[in-house]
């Protein structure tokens, strides 16, 4: 929908699907998936240790095709996350950062205490910060209060494909948030992405659900449809759930329905 | 997807969304919703008592725009359902019939014993029978055995918008059915329709979820996307659900994802 | 609760848990489980082919300790089920029968058409019939109409331990039934059994959940507690679900709660 | 079970149900509910503003009948919570404190950043701290690391009766926690309490579900059974969930089951 733009920090997007770049069989499958999905934002992981090294190929290919959102995947301390964000800004020439700061390597769950601290530092340093966080409405509000441009609560732990474990919390966050809400992590299939939008999310970020599916390009297309469908359904105003059946055509004539 | 046709009784369809015609604010909203949804099959209710009467307007408008699927909504006996089907064939010049035979007016739940009997009679009489039935795998098999062209198990009672109450049964039915499975009744929003397709349904029929939404045309578009997305996700082969987190970019370099 | 008796066909029971007898490590574990569970009704499978043979030991042990409810497990035709019931009556000197008539060996799902026919025949023949059926409110009503003493809708397929797949239907059946409703099949753990009672079931029958657990005697005790707790919760009238938080102690003094 | 004791900070309890004291119709109903539930721990709210005032009656009645666990309900800052805890210690002569520190009055959701800070201060000050927290495994670990004697993750927001919104997280917390896990808030009915225990919780605290039910004394009894049943089921080792049916008595003779 050309008339349903979505803004983060003043930048407008028409697609509400963000795509990760990890785990694809090869670069071409990723690029075809990107096209099939219609996504305009792509997140890439920055690792200090390899900053000298390669992969410029993908970066070059993405230039002009997608808005780059570097992330701090794998960081477990404030210092590490902040430094990684700064290196990303230098290397990719963007002040946008998806801030990941995990509490342990087993659950990959965000460490919200450190996350708030790192987010505040990066905001002060001029970054546009999009933090990967828990589905905790108080933490989400706090992240917005320290100046984050959006919040990215999880649906389920990274890579699990379990969908949205707690729709109630996601809906609560969306209803109260002063910044855009982007569901991040846990999506397994199209209906999960549609549900995220129906709950009020402004966008969905996913990676494994596409890259590790049997047919990533087709699944990318599925996710594009699902996000568009979920968004439209949200805007359209769904029927209330009723506990009792109700005939759709109770008393009509020849062509009642 | 032009290459993902769907057949019932030898007729090919490219859209997997079927739309009911009841309860729209007016005819124009219905027609705009039909366009927005991309649906090719439209179900209409036949009432003997009004066969003399009007509504030819809508029928004329639908000619050439949609495949008509008359239904026997409101019938509660074999005799009534069979007679209604015969009148529909005469009036609409089609041998296709969506067979509804309800057990009571409160739940609008199918009466499966009578349904099987009526289906068998109508098949013998040359009809292409699509029965609205429960999510009972044995009943669905029986309906296929007596010659039905498809089965139409419910997601939830008509008009409730509760979604798919028993995904396990729907998935079981899809995995075993020898005829197409069309989810009918209960859909409330886009993610419900996507889920139906992911469980293996060949198509989805819905009415109230669109006609009674706040913005039917937009919701019709949502459902079109949702059915397409759910179908693609099914074909693409989703990732398995995992109980433990797994990094999407565990050990990659500069651009790992 | 001595004052919360439960009646089937005029016979009163104080425990609302029925126990199956199959699959226990040995007879003693079964007997200890029976004691731990507090169950008063025990269901046993009758096979014509072995009527000459043994197992009288268990029967003797059960005499006086439990009310015997023979079942027709494994029967797939009306004729087979009726004959098995008649043999059971002769062998066990009871006119009670749990009528099982399955649609196929893969799903073990009831064949409701044949079930109604067999039930009607057995009622005519003087049996007290308790049919194992689907969670279909129309079928349950029909079984009551032909004279069954109770209905036994499934929670999930036999032996799956999936719990109650469709609580909505079970609740609908309970709200409308003119005869006792006994949830049968699918229970996996204690909370499933409690939920059945909260939905309005009069009793719960289970087997595998106890006999195949790691510690059957302990699980039998768990189920006894769960059924009692679920029943009490039903009688006590639970609080409504609220979408918004509400302080339990909003404005109280020193000892507010 | 006399042999299934539960320890917090070295003190042993045999009941795994903790009861709140707010919202009962009158004191006698509370006392009868306490008896019916079998609970040994009772939580009471301390308000500084009213420390001069009454309610000693209830305190006197509880002496010897229950272990008092004062709470800091309504506190929204570290300072307020710490001060309230200190006043509770003085007034009630106990160093145990259920630490509640909410993020806002609308959701009553814990503010986990402040909670960790307050917990650390109170531990340093010699308190036995039981913090009411979110279902975030990293926060729970952090609370244990700063010396809390247990963690009390929520099932759902206070007073909602929505049950356990995210069983996955509760199970994850239980599997990893080095201190006892007590589910707190959200319980609506008996099956919710049983589920908490099955997920691995060491105990359950609830208030509104009993005090605001139609018949608190009966519901208290229901909860006692449910917690005992859920605990036994956890210890007994439930059967795995299976996707396919399996006969409980596939090939047995006269008395197969």
Instruction: Locate D34 and state its tokens.
Output: 């306490």
- Quick one: pLDDT at residue A226? 98
Query: Strand ranges (DSSP E) for chain B?
Result: 6-8, 11-13, 17-20, 41-45, 67-71, 96-99, 128-133, 152-153, 182-184, 203-206
Phi-psi region of D58 (alpha: psi -120 to 50; beta: other; left: phi over 0): alpha
Instruction: Locate A253 and state its tokens.
Output: 């004539």
Q: How far is B181 from chain C (nearest CA, A)?
A: 18
Segment C164-186, tens digit of pLDDT? 999 999 999 999 999 999 999 99
Q: Which CATH superfamily is domain D6-235 in?
A: Aldolase class I (3.20.20.70)
Residue B194: strand, helix, or coil: helix
Binding-site residue ranges of B for 1-deoxy-D-xylulose 5-phosphate: 159, 185-186, 207-208
Q: How far is D104 from chain A (nearest CA, A)?
A: 8
Q: Which residue has the higher pLDDT, D58 or B202?
A: B202
Dihedral sign, Cα of residue C196, residue C201, residue C203, residue C206: negative
Segment C80-92, tens digit of pLDDT? 999 999 999 998 8
Residue with tokens 């029986």: B142
Enumerate the β-bridge partners of residue D182.
D203
Closest CA to C254 of D87, A89, D76: D87
- Quick one: pLDDT at residue B245? 81
Segment C30-60, tens digit of pLDDT? 999 999 999 999 999 886 334 444 455 677 7
Instruction: Locate D111 and state its tokens.
Output: 């503010």
For residue B75, give the chain A residue with the closest CA.
A250
Residue with tokens 């959940």: C209
Q: For residue A234, is pLDDT > 50?
A: yes
Taking CA atoms, D240 is separated from A47, C42, C208, C209, in Å, by 41, 24, 11, 9
Q: How far is D25 from chain A (nearest CA, A)?
A: 30
Closest CA to B148 of B118, B183, B176: B118
Residue B59: strand, helix, or coil: helix
Q: pLDDT digit of tens for each residue in chain D (257 aa)?
A: 558 999 999 999 999 999 999 999 999 999 999 999 999 999 998 863 344 444 556 777 787 889 999 999 989 999 999 999 999 999 888 999 999 999 998 889 999 999 999 999 999 999 999 999 999 999 999 999 999 999 999 999 999 999 999 999 999 999 999 999 999 999 999 999 999 999 999 999 999 999 999 999 999 999 999 999 999 999 999 999 998 887 765 443 333 33
- Quick one: pLDDT at residue C77? 96
For residue B163, give the chain A residue with the closest CA.
A241
- Quick one: pLDDT at residue A46? 80
Residue D107: strand, helix, or coil: coil
pLDDT band at B46 (very low <50, low <70, confident <90, very high): confident
- Quick one: pLDDT at residue A53? 41
* Chain A to chain B Cβ contacts (< 8 Å): 321
Q: Which of A86-90, B187-191, C21-25 has the highest mean pLDDT?
A: B187-191
Instruction: Locate D175 and state its tokens.
Output: 């599997």
Q: Nearest 10 degrees: CA dihedral of B93, B97, B102, B106?
A: -70
Please state which CATH number belongs to domain A6-236: 3.20.20.70
Q: Which residues in chain C have Cβ-Cβ distances shorter than 8 Å to D188? A: 238-239, 241
Let me know: does B214 contact B24? Beta carbons within 8 Å.
no
Q: Best interface-test mutation with D: which of A113, A186, A188 has the largest number of D CBs within 10 A?
A: A113
Taking CA atoms, B86 is separated from B45, B68, B92, B122, C99, in Å, by 13, 15, 10, 9, 38
Those chains having 3 or more beta-carbon pairs within 8 angstroms of chain B are A, C
- Say how many Å lie between the first and final Cα of chain C, rounded: 29
Q: Tell if the CB–CB gap between B162 and C168 is shorter than 8 Å.
A: yes
- Quick one: pLDDT at residue D247? 74
Backbone angles phi, psi at A98, to 5 degrees: -90, 115
Cα D136 from chain centre: 16
Those chains having 3 or more beta-carbon pairs within 8 angstroms of chain D are A, C
Q: Which residues in chain C have Cβ-Cβ distances shorter than 8 Å to B111? A: 138
- DSSP for B201-249 reads -SEEEESHHHHTSSSHHHHHHHHHHHHHHHHHHHHH-PPPP-SS---SS
Average pLDDT value for chain C: 90
Residue positions of C annotated with a catalytic role: 98
Q: Best interface-test mutation with B: which of C77, C112, C120, C131 has the largest number of B CBs within 10 A?
A: C112
Mean pLDDT value across residues B153-180: 96
Q: Which residue has the higher pLDDT, C70 or B56?
A: C70
Let me know: does D73 contact C247? Beta carbons within 8 Å.
yes
Average pLDDT value for chain A: 90
- Quick one: pLDDT at residue A61? 77
Q: For residue A256, is pLDDT > 80?
A: no
Those chains having 3 or more beta-carbon pairs within 8 angstroms of chain C are B, D
For residue A164, give the chain D residue with the closest CA.
D166
Nearest to B252 among A22, A109, A257 (CB): A22
Q: How far is A19 from chain D (nearest CA, A)?
A: 26
Instruction: Locate B112 and state its tokens.
Output: 């499966």
- Quick one: pLDDT at residue B246? 76
- Say how many Å lie between the first and final Cα of chain B, rounded: 29
- Cβ neighbours, 10 Å, residue D242: 16
The contacts of residue A113 (CB under 8 Å, 6+ apart) are: D112, D113, D116, D139, D142
Mean pLDDT value across residues B137-147: 97
Q: How far is B101 from chain C (nearest CA, A)?
A: 12
Dihedral sign, Cα of residue A156, residue A161, residue A165, residue A171: positive
Taking CA atoms, B165 is separated from B4, B135, B157, D243, in Å, by 28, 10, 9, 17
Residues of B with CB under 8 A from a CB of C: 103-104, 107, 109-113, 116, 134, 136-139, 141-142, 156, 162, 165-166, 168-169, 172
Tell me whether residue B241 is one of the annotated catalytic residues: no
- Quick one: pLDDT at residue B247? 73
Q: Which residue has the higher pLDDT, D190 or A57?
A: D190
Distance (Å, whole) CA B230 – CA B232 = 5
* Chain C to chain D Cβ contacts (< 8 Å): 321
Residue D20: strand, helix, or coil: strand
Let me know: does A95 contact A81? Beta carbons within 8 Å.
no
Closest CA to C223 of C177, C161, C175: C161
The contacts of residue A54 (CB under 8 Å, 6+ apart) are: B253, B254
Instruction: Locate C141 and state its tokens.
Output: 């009503």
Enumerate the β-bridge partners of residue C13.
C6
Residue B53: strand, helix, or coil: coil
Q: How far is C165 from chain B (nearest CA, A)?
A: 6
Residue D18: strand, helix, or coil: strand
ipTM of the complex: 0.91
Residue with tokens 């058409």: C113
Residue D45: strand, helix, or coil: strand
Enumerate the β-bridge partners of residue B41.
B18, B67
- Quick one: pLDDT at residue B252? 39
Q: For residue B58, is pLDDT > 90?
A: no
Nearest to A109 among D111, D137, D165 (CB): D137
Dihedral sign, Cα of residue C111, residue C117, residue C120, residue C123: negative
Q: For residue A162, is pLDDT > 60?
A: yes
Query: Strand ranges (DSSP E) for A136-237?
Result: 152-153, 182-184, 203-206
Ligand-binding annotation for D21, yes or no, is: no
Q: For residue B52, is pLDDT > 70?
A: no
The contacts of residue A180 (CB under 8 Å, 6+ apart) are: A6, A7, A8, A149, A150, A151, A202, A203
- Quick one: pLDDT at residue C91? 87
Q: Tell if the CB–CB gap between C172 and B107 is shorter than 8 Å.
A: yes
Buried b (16+ CB within 10 A) or exposed e, A1-14: eeeeebebeeeebe
Q: Which residues in chain D have Cβ-Cβ distances shorter than 8 Å to C252? A: 22, 45, 47
Q: Tell if the CB–CB gap between B112 and C168 is shorter than 8 Å.
A: no
- pLDDT-above-90 percentage for chain B: 78
Q: Tell if the CB–CB gap between B59 and A255 is shorter than 8 Å.
A: yes
Residue A183: strand, helix, or coil: strand
Mean pLDDT value across residues A106-121: 95
Q: Tell if the CB–CB gap between C226 and D221 is shorter than 8 Å.
A: no
Distance (Å, whole) CA C5 – CA B249 = 61
Cα angle B1-B2-B7, degrees, rounded to a multiple of 5 = 100
Q: Best interface-test mutation with B: which of C139, C146, C153, C154 has the largest number of B CBs within 10 A?
A: C139
Let me know: does B13 contact B37? Beta carbons within 8 Å.
no
Which residue in the list D11, D79, D98, D212 is annotated as catalytic?
Answer: D98
Segment C205-220, tens digit of pLDDT? 999 999 999 999 999 9
Let me know: does C223 contact C210? Beta carbons within 8 Å.
yes
Mean pLDDT value across residues B81-106: 93
Segment D44-56, tens digit of pLDDT? 988 633 444 445 5
Alpha helix (H) residue ranges in D52-166: 56-62, 78-92, 112-124, 137-145
The contacts of residue C222 (CB under 8 Å, 6+ apart) are: C189, C190, D228, D229, D230, D231, D232, D233, D236
Closest CA to B160 of D227, A243, C234, A77: A243
Cα C214 from chain centre: 21
Let me know: does D199 contact D174? Beta carbons within 8 Å.
yes
Q: Tell if the CB–CB gap between B222 and A242 is shorter than 8 Å.
A: no
For residue B215, give the chain A residue with the closest CA.
A236
Q: Which residues in chain C have Cβ-Cβ distances shorter than 8 Å to B103? A: 137-138, 141
Q: Lowest-confidence range among B49-63, C11-25, D221-235?
A: B49-63
Taking CA atoms, B116 is separated from B69, B81, B94, in Å, by 19, 12, 21
- Quick one: pLDDT at residue D243? 87
- Quick one: pLDDT at residue A255? 35
């Amino acid at each position: 929908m050309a008339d349903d733009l979505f803004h983060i920090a003043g930048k407008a997007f028409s697609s509400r699907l963000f795509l990760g770049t990890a785990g694809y069989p090869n670069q071409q499958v990723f690029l075809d998936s990107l096209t099939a999905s219609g996504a305009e934002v792509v997140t890439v992981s920055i690792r200090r240790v390899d900053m000298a090294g390669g992969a410029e190929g993908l970066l070059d290919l993405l230039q002009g095709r997608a808005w780059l959102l570097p992330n701090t995947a794998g960081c477990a301390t404030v210092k590490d996350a902040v430094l990684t964000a700064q290196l990303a800004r230098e290397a990719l020439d963007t002040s946008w950062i998806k801030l990941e700061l995990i509490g342990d390597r087993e659950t990959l769950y965000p460490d919200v205490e450190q996350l708030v601290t790192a987010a505040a530092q990066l905001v002060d340093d001029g970054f546009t910060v999009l933090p990967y966080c828990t589905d905790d409405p108080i933490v989400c509000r706090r992240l917005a209060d320290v100046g984050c441009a959006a919040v990215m609560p999880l649906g389920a732990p990274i890579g699990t494909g379990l969908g949205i474990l707690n729709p109630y919390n996601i809906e609560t966050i969306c209803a109260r948030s002063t910044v855009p809400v982007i569901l991040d992590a846990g999506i397994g299939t199209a209906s999960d992405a549609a549900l995220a939008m129906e709950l009020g999310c402004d966008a969905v970020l996913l990676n494994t659900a596409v890259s590790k599916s049997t047919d990533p390009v087709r699944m990318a297309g599925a996710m594009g449809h699902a996000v568009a469908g979920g968004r439209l359904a949200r805007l359209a105003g769904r029927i209330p759930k009723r506990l009792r059946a109700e005939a759709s055509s109770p008393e009509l004539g020849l062509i009642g329905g």
